[in-house]
Structure 1
Amino acid sequence: MFGRIGRFSVKRPWLTIVAWIIAAVALSALAPSLKPANDQADFLPSRFESVQAAKTAAAAFPQSEESAAIAVFQRTDGGKLTDADKADVAKVAAGLQDKKYENIKKVQTSPEAVSPNGEIALATVVPSVDDLYDEAVIKAVKTLRQDAKQLLDGTALKMGVTGPAASALDAGESSGDTDAMIMMATLVLIIVLLAVIFRSPLIAFLPVLMIAVMFTVAMALIAIASDVAGLQADSGISALLIVVLFGVGTDYILFLLFRYREHLRAGQEPKEALADAVARVGETIASAAGAVIVAFLALLLSTMGSLKAMGPSLAIAVAVTLVAALTLVPAVFSLLGTKAFWPSKAWKRTPKNRLANRLGDTVARRPAVVAAVSAGVLVVLAVGALGFKAEFDSDSSLPKNLESVQAMEQLQQGFSAGQTDPSLILVTSQGGAKLDAAALEDFRGEVAKTEGVSDVSPALVSAAGDVAQFSAVLEHRPASEKAIALVSGDLRDTVHRAAPDGTKAIVGGTTAVLADIEVAVEHDYKLVFPVAGLAIMIILGLLLRSVVAPFYLMISVGLGFAATLGATVWLFQGAKGESGLLFMLPVIVYLFVVAIGTDYNILMVARLREEVRRGTSPREAVKQAVAQSAPTIGSAAVILAGTFGVLMLANNSLLQQMGFAVSFGILLTAFVMALLLVPTLTTMLGAKAWWPGRRSAPDAGLGSGDEQREPAMAAGSAAK
C-alpha cells in the first residue's frame, strides 16, 4: 500500500501539491473561528456537586449578579484612605459607570467596600451577561483600565483591576505574545538544525513551508469538527499545535529523507529512491502516527472536558501530518530531485558515522551492561515522581508584572484572599416547601464556624422561597491548594451535615469546581493511561507481528515516563521551590513522551526487524540497526525536543514545566531507551523477541514488488 502511495505522489507531484493547496485554502475559507473556553464548570459532567450548584443557582436566581472584575484602590503612598480619598473612589466608579461599556451593567462601590485596615477600597464591575469571560466584557475591562487613568488624575489614588475577566485579558495578551515567540523560536530552531544536518538551504526551509500548510489544514479541520460534530475545542490549543505539528512533522520528514538519501547512495534514480523510501518507512511512519493518534483519542475517555477537547484536536493534527508526510512531502522532493541537497555533495557519500558505529558495536557486544546502566539511570530519576504535587492555581503561573496579579496582591493586603471569588452554598427544599428563615440563619452560623471561612453572607432566598444562596468568603486564594482542600473537606462536610431538616445543601463556585476537577483527574489517571498504553501495544504488535516485543517496549516507555516526571519534580519543586506542578502534567507527559517518544522505539525496532529478516544474527542486526538509526533518531529527537523546549522561554511557569518535561522526556526516550535499552533487551532476548513471528519471513514492510528489487539494489550498490 505504501509503495503505491509513494509512486502516485512521486509520479504526479503537481496534482498532489495543488490538491493540498486547494484543500488548505478551501478549508480555511469554510472553517468557523475557534473561540476561547474559560469556564471549567462547563467541562465537568453533571454528577459533580459544583456543576449541580451552578445549575441550581442559575435556575433559582436568574437575575443574580457576579463580578467580572474588581477595581482595587489604594493611596499612592500606601497610607490609610481619607474621607476625600473615599469620595474620589466613588467619583471614579461613577465616572466609569457613565462610560456605558458594552455588556457591562454597572460599576459600583459602597462605604462598606473599604477594608478593615482602611487601606483598600473596591469597586465591582458587574456584567449584563452571564458569561464572565464574554469577549465584549473582556474588551470593556481593557478600555476601563485606560479610562480610569484620566479619572484618577488629580487624586492621591492608584487603581488596578483584577478578577476573572481581568485575569483572562492579561492571560490572553500574555499568551498572544507567547504564541508569536514560540512560533518564531520554533521556526528558527528547525531551520538552523535542518541546515546543519543536511547543509542545504532548500531542505532547511521546505519542511517549514510544508508544515505551515499542514497547520492551516489541521486548524481548519479542528474548527469544522468543533462546529459540526460538537467537538469542544478552543483557540488556546494553537500554541500546543504549533509545537506538535512542527515537531512531529519534522520527525516524519526526517524519517523519509534519511531513507531517501540512503537509497540514493545505493545507486537508485531519485524518483525511484523516493518512492521506495515511502514504501520502506511508510509503515513505520503510519505506525508511529497511529500510536500518537490513539493515545490522543484515549483522552475521549477523560472526565475533563478540556482534555476531551484536546485529544481529538491533536489527533486530527497528527493525522493531517501523517497524510502529508506520505503524499505532500514526496511530491515536493520529487520535483527537486537531488537538487534538494544543493549545494552539499555529502548525500553522494556514505558517512563514516564513527560515533554511531561505535555505539552500535558497544550495544551489541555488552548488552547486559548497557541495559543495566540505562535502566538504572531511569530508575534513579523515577524516584522523584513520588514527590509530585498537583497545582490547580493557573493564575499563580502568570507573570508577576501583570496588572491583575498585582491588583490581587494589593487586595489581599486589606481583605481575605477569597474576597474576589466567594464559594457559593445552595440550600434547596426537598419537598418544594418554603425555607424557614430561622433555620437558615442557624445554618449560616454553623458554616461560619468552619476554620478557614472568613465570612458568610446572609441568605439570599429565591422568589419561590425554596432555594437559598450564601456566599462564603475563604481566607485563602480561591484556586490555592488550601482553599481546594477546605472546600472538598471541612466546608462540604459542614454544609452537608448542618443542612436544615428537609433540605439539601451543596457547595459551588470556582474553588468547588477545582476540587471536583482534582477528583476527575485522579479518575483519568487510572483510566486514560492504561487504555492509551494498551492501544499503543496493539499497534506495536501489528507492526512487529510479535507478542513479546510490545511488552518490554511499553515497560521501558513506562519507566521513561516516571523518570521524566521525576526529573521535572526535582527541577521545579526542588531546585526552583515551586509549590507544585501543573495538575495535567502527568497526562501531558504520558501522551507526548509515551506516544510521540514511541516514534523512536518504533523506528528502531522496525529497523531491527528489517535487519533480522535479511538473515543476520540478532547481535549483528542490533549493531547495524543502532548504527543506521542513530543519526535519524538523534536528529529527529533534538529537533522535536527543541520545539517543545521553546516553551521554556514563555513567561509562564506552567508552560515552562510542560516544555521541560516533554523535551527532556523525548531526549530520554531517544538516547536512553531507543538507542540503548530497547536494542540491548532485544539482543538479550534474541529470536524470542519476535515470537510468534518467523525470523525468515519476508519483510512485510515492503510494498508490492519490493522483495525482488532489494537484491538487485544491493547488488548494484556492491558493484559500485
Structure 2
Amino acid sequence: MSKKHLWEQYGRTVAGPRTKWVTILIWILLAGGLSMLLPSAKSQENNNAANLPADTQSVVSEALAAREFPGDAGVPALLVWHRSGGMQDGDLAGIQSVTRTLEQAPLTHQLVVPPLHKMPPQALRSQLSQDQSTLVLPVIFQKGSDTEALKADLETLKEKTAALLGADPFAAKTDGAELSARVSGPVGIQVDAVGLFKSADVSLLIGTVLLVLVILLLIYRSPILALIPIVGVGFAYAVVNPLIGWIASMGWIEVDSQAMSIMTVLLFGAGTDYCLFLIARFRQTLKEEKDKSKALLNAISDSSGAIAMSGFTVVLSLLALLLAKYGAYHRFAVPFSLSILVMGIASLTLVPALLAVLGRTSFYPFIPRTREMQEERAARTGKPVPPARHPHPYSNIFSGWIVRKPWTVALSAFILLGVLASFAPRISYTFDTLSSFPEDMESRQGFAVIAEQFSPGELAPIKVMLDTDGKQVDGAAALKALPFVSKVSDPVAGKTDPTLVAYDVELNMNPYSAEAMDTIPQFYTAMEKALGGSGIGEPGDKVWISGQTATQYDTRETGDRDASVIIPAVIILIALLLLVYLRSIIAVVYLIATVLLSYFSALGLGWLVIHYLLGADAIQGFIPVYAFVFLVALGEDYNIFMISGIWQKSRTMPLSRAIREGVMESGSVITSAGLILAGTFAVLGTLPIQILVHFGIITAIGVLLDTFVVRPFLVPALTRILGKWSFWPGRYTPIPEEEPALQGGRGKA
C-alpha cells in the first residue's frame, strides 16, 4: 500500500462523513475532561526551582555556609533608604521604629533584622553613606521561601512602614527631596522577576491571539478561516495545560512562569503554521476537485506527511533540552515538546475534521471553486466567469531566476547571510539579572542608589571559606590585595569546625556583572596560595566560595557545558530524521548547513538591532541556546515542507520544473506561516523583560531570514546546482529537461 493511500485511509478515519463528528467530540471531551480532572499548569508553577545541580561548587558552598555559619542561612532583602541632601533625625527615628516593629512582630518568613532601634544616634549615623543620604537595612528571610509568600511579606512591610512614618517612602522618588525606600537585594530581585513574568502572561496571550487573527484575516480575508487555527490551538492548549499540570504534580518535572509564557507563543506560532500547511493545500485542491470530501482527502494525503515530520522534528529537538544540567533549560523541554506534540496531533485530526464540516464555507467570502463550478454558477446567476488566477508574477520571475541562474542566487544568499553572521562573534553576553529589568523596577532603582552611594558589591557580598587545618592563615590580607575587592570582614570560625574560617567580601564592581564573575577563579587561586599551596588546587579542596556572584559564575559555566551538549544533539537528531524522511545524505547536509547559517545570521542581525538601535550593551547569555533550538528546529519545518513538494514533483517532471513549481506552490503558505511565526515571537518584544525582548527579536529575525532568504532562494538554488546528487544515495531517475523550463519557464513550464 502506497503512502498516499495510507494517508487517504487516515483522512477517512479522522474526517469522514461520520468520523469527523467523532473526532470533534473526542477533542471536546479531552479538553473539558482533562481541565476538570487535572490541575492546571499555573497551579503547579515553581518559580524558586533550583537551576544548578546539587554538586555544583557554589551550591555545595552555600550548604557549607548554612551549616557552619547559620547566621547567614537566610536570603536578604535590602531596604535602601535615601533622602537627597542628607538624612534627617526624624528619618532615622522612623527607620528605628520600623526595625523595632519588625523585631517585636516579625514578618511570616523573616529570620533576622538588625536592631537599629537599639543603636545611639551617632552610631546609627556611622552606618550612613559618606554624604549621609543613604542607609541600607538588610532584612533576612528564610531561604527557599515561596516567591508569593515573600511578596506578601514585603507588602506587609510596606504597609507597616507607611503607617509608622505617616507617608509611603516606597512611592517617593529616589531623586526627590522626600525620604524614599526601595527593596533590592536577592529577595527584591526574585520578587520583581517573578512579578514581571506573571504580569506578562495575560497580555502575551491576548497580543499573540490578536496578532495571529489579524495576519490570517489580511492574508486569507476570511473570518471563518482565521478562526480555524485559533480553535485548533485553543483545544491543544486546553489539553496541554492540564497535562503539564498533572506531570508537574506527580513530581516528574518542574514548571515555571517563564517556560509557560514562551510555550504560549510557541503553541500559537508553530501551531498555526501546521494548520496553514493543510489549509493551503485544501484550498488548492478545491480548485481542482469538485467533491469537497475528495479534495480534503487529497490535501491530507499530500500534506500530512510533511506536517507530521515537521512536528516530530521540533518535538525531538526540544526534548534535547533534557540533556541540560541547567534547570531553566531542562524545565523547558517537556512543556515545549509536549505542546508541539499535542498541536501536531490537533492539526492532523481536529483541523481536518473542522474543514470536513465547513467545506468550502471555510474560505467565505472568497470560496475556491473548480472551473466547471464557476461556469455553472455563472450560468445560474448570469454573472461572468471570473478570469483564471495565475501564480503571482513575482513568484514566476523568482522561481524562473532560481532555475536559470542558481549559482548567482546561491552566492548572493550566501554573501548576505555570511555578512550578517560575521557580527555574531562580536556579541557581548551578560548574566546580570538586574540588567533585564525595566529601569523603573524597584529592585533596580534600589541597586542604583547603592551603587552610587556605597560600593556596588554591598548588594551581594561574596563569602570566602578556608580550611586552615588549624594553621595561622592571613586570608584577609590576601583578599585585600586583590584589586577588585572593596571590603573584607573580620574572620569568623565555623560553628562545628573551628578550623574553617569565613570572610565576607564586597567587590568594587557590580556583583552581577560578567567582570565580577571572572573574579571567582582568581579568588580560588589567591586563597590556595594563602594556604601555602600552588594556587592550582581544585575548588572545594580547601576553599569554598558562595554568594550570588559565585552562583552566576557556575551558571555561566553550566550553560557553556549545556550548549556544547545540546547543540550537537539537536543537529544529530534532525540529521537522522531528515535522513529517514528524505533518504539523501547530500540533502541532509545542505539543509542543515543552510539553517545553521541562518541561525548565525539571525544572531548577527539581532545584535545589530539590539545593540545599535535599542542601545543594549549585552544580551543574556542564555539566549543563543534557546534561539538555536527554536530556529534550527522551526527552520527545518519550512525546508521539509518545501523540499518534500519538490521531491514528489521530481518523480513526474524534470527537476528544474519541479523546483519552479515547488517554490511557487509553497511560497504563499510558507510566507504567511513565517510571518505569523515571526510575529508571535515579535510579541515578546512588547514585554518589559529584556531577556524575552532580545530572545523575541533574534528568533523573529531568524524566522524571517528562513522565510524570505533560505527557503525561497538558497535551498532551491542549491538543489538546482546539485541536480541528481541532491538525492544521493537515494534512488532517483532523472526525467529529461524540457527546453522551455531552462529558458525560464516559457511554454509548458
Which residue number corresponds to residue 708 of structure 1? none
Q: Which one-letter code corresponds to 2:477 in the other structure?
A: G
Report the CA distance shift for 1:550/1:681 in structure 2 as closer, same or farther (over 3 A). same
Does the 8 A contact of 2:197 with 2:257 survive in 1?
A: no
Q: Share of identical aligned residues, percent? A: 28
Counterpart of 1:359 (choices 398, 401, 405) is 398
Report the CA distance shift for 1:67/1:589 in structure 2 as closer, same or farther (over 3 A). closer
Aligned residue pairs total: 686
Counterpart of 1:158 (choices 168, 176, 180) is 180
Which residue number corresponds to residue 102 of structure 1? 108
Shift of 1:99: 5.1
1:31 aligns with 2:54: no
| Paired residues for 1:452-467 under 5 Å | 452-466=484-498, 467=500
Q: Which one-letter code corresponds to 1:388 in the other structure?
A: I
CA RMSD between the two structures: 2.4
Q: Secondary structure in 2 aligned to 1:373?
A: helix
Report the CA distance shift for 1:117/1:109 in structure 2 as closer, same or farther (over 3 A). farther
Q: Deviations over 1:136-169 (max 9, x none)?
A: 1222113322432333327962211112222232
Counterpart of 2:430 (choices 367, 383, 391) is 391
Which residue number corresponds to residue 597 of structure 2? 559
Q: Secondary structure in 1 aligned to 2:434?
A: helix
For residues 660 and 137 of structure 1, the distance between their equivalents in structure 2, rounded to whole angstroms, comes to 33
| Paired residues for 1:192-207 under 5 Å | 192-207=214-229
For residues 70 and 39 of structure 2, the distance between their equivalents in structure 1, rounded to whole angstroms, comes to 34
Shift of 1:97: 4.7
For residues 727 and 200 of structure 2, the distance between their equivalents in structure 1, rounded to whole angstroms, comes to 46
1:17 aligns with 2:40: no
Q: Secondary structure in 2 aligned to 1:597?
A: helix
Q: Secondary structure in 2 aligned to 1:126?
A: strand
Q: Which one-letter code corresponds to 1:25 in the other structure?
A: G
Q: Secondary structure in 1 aligned to 2:465?
A: strand
For residues 536 and 619 of structure 1, the distance between their equivalents in structure 2, rounded to whole angstroms, comes to 27
1:8 aligns with 2:20: no
Report the CA distance shift for 1:332/1:98 in structure 2 as closer, same or farther (over 3 A). farther
Which residue number corresponds to residue 402 of structure 1? 441
Which residue number corresponds to residue 613 of structure 1? 651
For residues 10 and 67 of structure 2, the distance between their equivalents in structure 1, rounded to whole angstroms, comes to 57
**Larger mean Cα displacement after TM superposition, 636-645 or 389-398:** 389-398
Which residue number corresponds to residue 45 of structure 1? 53
Q: Secondary structure in 2 aligned to 1:320?
A: helix
Which residue number corresponds to residue 576 of structure 2? 538
Report the CA distance shift for 1:338/1:56 in structure 2 as closer, same or farther (over 3 A). same
Shift of 1:322: 0.8
Report the CA distance shift for 1:109/1:671 in structure 2 as closer, same or farther (over 3 A). farther
1:255 aligns with 2:277: yes
Which residue number corresponds to residue 503 of structure 2? 470
Q: Secondary structure in 2 aligned to 1:267?
A: coil
For residues 198 and 389 of structure 2, the distance between their equivalents in structure 1, rounded to whole angstroms, comes to 45
Which residue number corresponds to residue 642 of structure 1? 679
Q: Deviations over 1:368-415 (max 9, x none)?
A: 111111111000101001102211012211111122211211122222
For residues 581 and 397 of structure 2, the distance between their equivalents in structure 1, rounded to whole angstroms, comes to 28
Which residue number corresponds to residue 92 of structure 1? 98
For residues 107 and 31 of structure 2, the distance between their equivalents in structure 1, rounded to whole angstroms, comes to 39
Report the CA distance shift for 1:168/1:25 in structure 2 as closer, same or farther (over 3 A). farther
Q: Secondary structure in 2 aligned to 1:399?
A: coil
For residues 483 and 423 of structure 1, the distance between their equivalents in structure 2, rounded to whole angstroms, comes to 10
Which residue number corresponds to residue 133 of structure 2? 119
Which residue number corresponds to residue 684 of structure 1? 721
Which residue number corresponds to residue 192 of structure 2? 170
Q: Deviations over 1:420-441 (max 9, x none)?
A: 2211222246xxx7x45x53xx
For residues 496 and 275 of structure 1, the distance between their equivalents in structure 2, rounded to whole angstroms, comes to 72
Q: Which one-letter code corresponds to 1:379 in the other structure?
A: G
Report the CA distance shift for 1:373/1:385 in structure 2 as closer, same or farther (over 3 A). same
For residues 447 and 682 of structure 2, the distance between their equivalents in structure 1, rounded to whole angstroms, comes to 31
Which residue number corresponds to residue 234 of structure 1? 256
Which residue number corresponds to residue 515 of structure 1? 553
Shift of 1:47: 4.2
Does the 8 A contact of 1:443 with 1:500 survive in 2?
A: no
Which residue number corresponds to residue 506 of structure 1? 544
Which residue number corresponds to residue 526 of structure 1? 564
Does the 8 A contact of 2:225 with 2:362 survive in 1?
A: yes
Question: Structure 1 stretches of 5 or more lacking a match?
Answer: 699-717
Q: Which one-letter code corresponds to 2:78 in the other structure?
A: I
Shift of 1:354: 2.2
**Larger mean Cα displacement after TM superposition, 648-657 or 603-612:** 648-657
For residues 422 and 63 of structure 1, the distance between their equivalents in structure 2, rounded to whole angstroms, comes to 14
Shift of 1:632: 0.8
1:593 aligns with 2:598: no
Q: Deviations over 1:634-687 (max 9, x none)?
A: 010001100001111112222221111001100101111111000010011111
Q: Secondary structure in 2 aligned to 1:69?
A: strand
Q: Which one-letter code corresponds to 1:664 in the other structure?
A: I
Report the CA distance shift for 1:596/1:641 in structure 2 as closer, same or farther (over 3 A). same
**Larger mean Cα displacement after TM superposition, 571-580 or 336-345:** 571-580
Does the 8 A contact of 2:51 with 2:326 survive in 1?
A: yes
Counterpart of 2:329 (choices 285, 288, 307) is 307
Length-normalised TM-score, structure 1: 0.90
Length-normalised TM-score, structure 2: 0.87
Does the 8 A contact of 1:597 with 1:669 survive in 2?
A: yes
Question: Structure 2 stretches of 5 or more lacking a match?
Answer: 1-5, 117-123, 170-177, 371-387, 534-539, 736-747
Counterpart of 1:285 (choices 298, 307, 311) is 307
Report the CA distance shift for 1:275/1:63 in structure 2 as closer, same or farther (over 3 A). farther
Report the CA distance shift for 1:674/1:24 in structure 2 as closer, same or farther (over 3 A). same
Report the CA distance shift for 1:276/1:251 in structure 2 as closer, same or farther (over 3 A). same
Q: Secondary structure in 1 aligned to 2:423?
A: helix
Q: Secondary structure in 2 aligned to 1:225?
A: helix
Shift of 1:36: 4.8
Q: Secondary structure in 2 aligned to 1:507?
A: strand
**Larger mean Cα displacement after TM superposition, 89-98 or 657-666:** 89-98
Q: Secondary structure in 2 aligned to 1:79?
A: coil
Which residue number corresponds to residue 361 of structure 2? 339
Does the 8 A contact of 1:161 with 1:407 survive in 2?
A: yes
Q: Secondary structure in 2 aligned to 1:471?
A: strand
Which residue number corresponds to residue 85 of structure 2? 79
Q: Which one-letter code corresponds to 2:604 in the other structure?
A: G
Which residue number corresponds to residue 713 of structure 1? none
Report the CA distance shift for 1:19/1:296 in structure 2 as closer, same or farther (over 3 A). same
1:695 aligns with 2:732: yes
Shift of 1:194: 1.0
Shift of 1:89: 1.5
For residues 107 and 277 of structure 1, the distance between their equivalents in structure 2, rounded to whole angstroms, comes to 69
Q: Which one-letter code corresponds to 1:43 in the other structure?
A: N
Shift of 1:289: 1.1
